[in-house]
Structure 1
């Protein structure tokens, strides 16, 4: 579909008819097979640079001719018998193929968020990434330009670039984690690390314990692999070790996933004593741990306690980290540190799936880490994020003190808003979207949650962040 301004409009033909013909062509050529959901009217109007009424008229004409059908709860879709309108042989039933695919579909709300995020007109108040101005693009470009050696274009070795694994190993040692390069696997971001663990280490029907409110609630990697997720209750100190011990025995759990530092979405930092208790509970149960530490570097007031992996003497912990939250999500580089036989198994699974992460990205990250630039960048980043956090907190105190409660995050990107009363989150999400605000409701992270919002202070420009919080508070208040 052409972007705004790319269409060659014919002066003699009405705009609605030009759009109607372009959409009909998508149907006739099979780009939109029967059952395809048509983009929302607002999105089409923005795409074509026309009034919404023009889109309404074009869609109405297509519906009248039998090409489209309005369905309650699904919006407008391509008619199931559209091939009759085309007077042609019926196409394959791609809808059946889509439904029968092994990978579970994303949650509808997350799909809506993913579709909306590229829209520059929206103020992204929940996004889990850094604003472009906080990424060290120019410094990275200068660094790579100064390196005379050629850029690697060949496949990397199964565990990833040795130079990068050596840099990661040294970085982990500075955190008290012993992981030689042979016990490190380079992956295409932390999410792929989770996928490899699900596919390579867990059988179908296995039980994985995770925080009751968790990032795992927003991804399908374990459910798609047939792994059952069981939520462990949390308190203000994170996952409760006594509940983890009880549930591990009750469900014969195979593994435990936890984010001890700057938990996503709540921002909680697990204190020293709780970390020790959780680790010992897992040691006694023989329960392996996936420790997700992607926000660990992003402390704003003081560093968090040592990672679980730094305390691990039994090879119990698989440690997961990446540069996506500090250096750049587009690099798609992360790593897993763990026992060598496990790393060998996961490397084999990875080679079967993608034959290795990007050699260019691995080269760039290795040079960046070895140059010392990452530490300088982190110092800058912590100062910027702290200022944005404080601005967001001040805006909340001014505009939402009567609507919600929150804790002051000590690091990471997020403020976890606990609304004083439940709200119809789909309606709030839609109302915010119409107002130009993209929010992350709590039900993404805990099924049925109607009383939380994840607010990010890492992406929106400071002035717009303050204004966005004011507008969001007004929307919440309008549901009285």
Structure 2
């Protein structure tokens, strides 16, 4: 069967089955060509056949959508009644429901990255997770074998705060970084991201303002915005957030909370020094401003151990601390935690029980054994060595290919190098050009909407061969676009 007929047949099957409902926007032709590996004339021919059948149509806002009466066999007055009738104000069109939900969709670029990260053959230079080869597969297999050799506890729901065994193990782990937290002050979450969502929903009134570093990881997700919370960005220097800017910003915006990543900040990789942390705690304390500390990268130091977290300096119960196993041990295990005052974690636990009735009991059992058995500490030693080697290799490549094109930091831990281009350009255009060359990027505008000159480069995922090819290709693209 000719390629254009294969494509149109595939589209017809999706539309006729209801998988692609009326009003759904199709991906752009250029992206469709890339995904299918065909030229544009083939796609245009296929789409033309679908348009002639009345299955797709151009939309006023641009692009192409599935037609309102596009289901196979749908025609005449009955089809019209189905498309405009009994579903009330939304008209029975699933696309209307999709667009009216209260939770904001991801940014289009983030949606594209989330989808493209699973395509074979792309060099992932921005991915914020360890490469599969850095994950402790053999050690985790040993953990599961140990669990299988003993009677399993009942695989029922855990208590609202999470497995007591795991919370005790997390408490011991936190003490290594100076945080003294009783298990009753710890809530187990399905990853740190769920912790952010629970805090946004459970602690902050709609219309309130959160202060945060700019750029920041929080700008790339919509956990807080979907809850009606606004952001106010604070400037940074090489040592992190500037405390002397905090008081004026908090008073001006009537801020409800400060969010910060003091250790190996995402996306810049900046490490806040001990003096800056003390100053931040003093000023926030004087303002009565609660702090949400994201400690996702705290243990991923590559040179010297970082200062203790803000939570270790907290004597008033003013800091909520987020932690996770996703960045070091296993993203797929989906285990994180929130540490804070007992009334706060109980409130968040109540919301969690309303949403998912607790993290997986099997995952919690494995995580407890992982921590109690000393596997985590052993793995961190190996992981830091491998990440250090990857960081140094990427820095060498940047010296070779980006001298005169950009400047960059030398991160003391975490996953990221914050690349600052010497000139401005369209980051969207750069993203598309890099994708055409087989390189997937995280551009700076994901973390600061006004950014036009930064890239978050990750040395945690791509192999050395991929880094070698990807950095060279990226430099060539940027050279062409800046001239």
Counterpart-to-counterpart distance in 1, 2:372 and 2:135: 18
Residues 1:46 and 1:424: Cα distance change in structure 2 (over 3 Å)? closer
Q: 1:82 aligns with which of 61, 67, 70?
A: 70
Residues 1:48 and 1:228: Cα distance change in structure 2 (over 3 Å)? closer
8 Å contact kept, 1:37–1:75: yes
8 Å contact kept, 1:275–1:308: yes
CA drift at 1:17: 2.1
CA drift at 1:348: 0.5
Counterpart-to-counterpart distance in 2, 1:386 and 1:235: 23
Counterpart-to-counterpart distance in 2, 1:180 and 1:455: 37
Q: How many aligned residue pairs are there?
A: 468
Counterpart-to-counterpart distance in 1, 2:399 and 2:206: 47
8 Å contact kept, 1:155–1:355: yes
> Map of 1:90-129 to 2, 5 A cutoff?
90-91=82-83, 92-129=92-129
Matched residue SS, 1:82: coil
Q: Which residue of 1 aligns with 2:12?
A: 24
Q: Deviations over 1:354-386 (max 9, x none)?
A: 100011111111100001011111011001001
> Map of 1:321-340 to 2, 5 A cutoff?
321-340=323-342
Counterpart-to-counterpart distance in 1, 2:175 and 2:327: 20
Counterpart-to-counterpart distance in 2, 1:45 and 1:81: 26
CA drift at 1:153: 2.3
Residues 1:391 and 1:313: Cα distance change in structure 2 (over 3 Å)? same
Q: Which residue of 2 aligns with 1:287?
A: 289
Matched residue SS, 2:455: strand
8 Å contact kept, 1:323–1:333: yes
CA drift at 1:109: 1.1
Residues 1:84 and 1:30: Cα distance change in structure 2 (over 3 Å)? closer
Matched residue SS, 1:69: strand
Q: Which residue of 2 aligns with 1:34?
A: 22
Q: Which residue of 2 aligns with 1:188?
A: 190
1:265 matched to 2:267:
yes
> Map of 1:348-387 to 2, 5 A cutoff?
348-387=350-389
1:255 matched to 2:243:
no
Q: Which residue of 1 aligns with 2:150?
A: 149
Q: Which residue of 2 aligns with 1:166?
A: 168
8 Å contact kept, 2:167–2:183: yes
CA drift at 1:110: 0.8
Matched residue SS, 1:253: coil
Q: Which residue of 2 aligns with 1:134?
A: 134
Residues 1:20 and 1:452: Cα distance change in structure 2 (over 3 Å)? same
Q: What TM-score does the superposition give when structure 2 sets the normalisation length?
A: 0.93
5+ long unaligned stretches in structure 2? 84-91
Q: What TM-score does the superposition give when structure 1 sets the normalisation length?
A: 0.94
The CA RMSD measured in Å over matched residues stands at 1.8
Counterpart-to-counterpart distance in 2, 1:328 and 1:53: 44
CA drift at 1:25: 2.3
8 Å contact kept, 2:210–2:232: yes
CA drift at 1:475: 0.5
Q: Deviations over 1:384-403 (max 9, x none)?
A: 00110011000001001111
**Greater shift in the superposed pair: 90-99 or 308-317:** 90-99
CA drift at 1:70: 4.4
Q: Which residue of 1 aligns with 2:215?
A: 213
Q: 1:428 aligns with which of 411, 415, 430?
A: 430
8 Å contact kept, 2:219–2:448: yes
Counterpart-to-counterpart distance in 1, 2:324 and 2:163: 15
CA drift at 1:249: 1.3
Counterpart-to-counterpart distance in 1, 2:137 and 2:98: 38
CA drift at 1:64: 3.0
Residues 1:77 and 1:393: Cα distance change in structure 2 (over 3 Å)? same
Residues 1:177 and 1:167: Cα distance change in structure 2 (over 3 Å)? same
Q: Which residue of 1 aligns with 2:46?
A: 58
Residues 1:225 and 1:25: Cα distance change in structure 2 (over 3 Å)? same
> Map of 1:222-241 to 2, 5 A cutoff?
222-241=224-243
8 Å contact kept, 1:28–1:86: no
CA drift at 1:231: 0.7
8 Å contact kept, 2:15–2:72: no
Counterpart-to-counterpart distance in 1, 2:251 and 2:32: 52
Q: Which residue of 2 aligns with 1:9?
A: none
Residues 1:344 and 1:327: Cα distance change in structure 2 (over 3 Å)? same
Residues 1:161 and 1:74: Cα distance change in structure 2 (over 3 Å)? farther
Matched residue SS, 2:224: helix
**Greater shift in the superposed pair: 449-458 or 76-85:** 76-85
8 Å contact kept, 2:402–2:475: yes
